[in-house]
Amino acid sequence: MTDVRPRAVIFDLDGVITDTAEQHYQGWQRLADEEGLPFDRTANEALRGLSRRESLLALLGDRQVDEPTLEAWMERKNRYYVDSLAGMTPDDALPGAVDLVDDAKRRGLKVAIGSSSKNAGLVLEKLQLTDRFDAVADGHSVERAKPAPDLFLEAARRLDVPPGQCVVVEDATSGVDAALAAGMVAVGVGPADRVGHATYRFDTPADIDLGVVLGEGPA
């Protein structure tokens, strides 16, 4: 718990509100297979939360490609990803995720999305959750992606809440790093080897107890 009561919760999108982490993985795997690049689920874990460009650079490792090729490959992976969202419905929210957002609101907290994705608006529309949030900061909002603190600082600015009074819910190592760098309370979702450095850690969104994070009882 912080000294000052938090006034806002900033939710990561992919891996917290919905499991598009799997669709991102499928898109990268298809591109990697087509281009003969070594890649698998384990390598994909390191890409969680990274921007599209940083993800491709990490996937490439030592392999050098020119800028037009980079752009073309990012565009192709994005096409695969966006196509895979076609059948997405509100049922694709992760169990407990929407209840968690509503619990935060019941407790009088503002709520925002802080996602590295340039497709966050589209995903929120598909989930019919756009209107539930007071602000959205996404891959279009800042230059420096997670693990830089910029995205979460921008979400806090849009909410008009000081960073020190924001809680971030994140599934990625880079996202927890970004939240801590922003001076925020970090709630990690997932295994300890991925988000164990967060202020609090829960296995899934459904396990998150905001009462524990805020040092309060049920709303």
Q: Report the 10 Å Cβ neighbour count for 33.
A: 10
Question: Which residues 120-139 are close enough to bind ligand B16 by CB under 6 A?
Answer: 139
Which one of the spans 12-20, 35-43, 176-184, 199-207 is the region binding ligand B16 (CB under 6 A)? 12-20
Question: Which partner in ligand B16, Mg ion, none is near 163 (CB below 5 to 8 A by kind)?
Answer: none
In the sheet that 166-170 helps form, which strands lie side by side, from edge to edge?
135-137, 110-114, 8-11, 166-170, 185-189, 200-202
Distances in whole angstroms, Cα of residue 186 to Cα of each of 34, 38, 193: 37, 33, 15
Q: Among this protein's residues, is 12 annotated catalytic?
A: yes
Our CB check for Mg ion shows the closer of 167 and 172 to be 172
Residue listed under structure tokens 């694709």: 92
Inter-residue contact 97 to 18 (CB < 8 Å): yes
Q: Is 116 helix (H, G, I), strand (E, B) or coil?
A: coil
Query: Tokens in use for 2?
Result: 């912080």
Inter-residue contact 151 to 161 (CB < 8 Å): no
Q: How far is the CB of 48 from ligand B16 (least distance, A)?
A: 5
Q: Among this protein's residues, is 19 annotated catalytic?
A: no
* The one among 6, 23, 37, 52 contacting ligand B16 by CB under 6 A: 52
* The one among 6, 49, 149, 190 contacting ligand B16 by CB under 6 A: 49
Our CB check for ligand B16 shows the closer of 83 and 216 to be 83
Our CB check for ligand B16 shows the closer of 39 and 214 to be 39
Our CB check for ligand B16 shows the closer of 118 and 157 to be 118
* The one among 8, 9, 39, 48 contacting ligand B16 by CB under 6 A: 48
Inter-residue contact 205 to 94 (CB < 8 Å): yes
Does 50 bind ligand B16 (CB under 6 A)? Our answer is yes
The contact set with ligand B16 (CB under 6 A) reads: 12-15, 21, 24, 47-52, 55, 78, 115-119, 139, 172
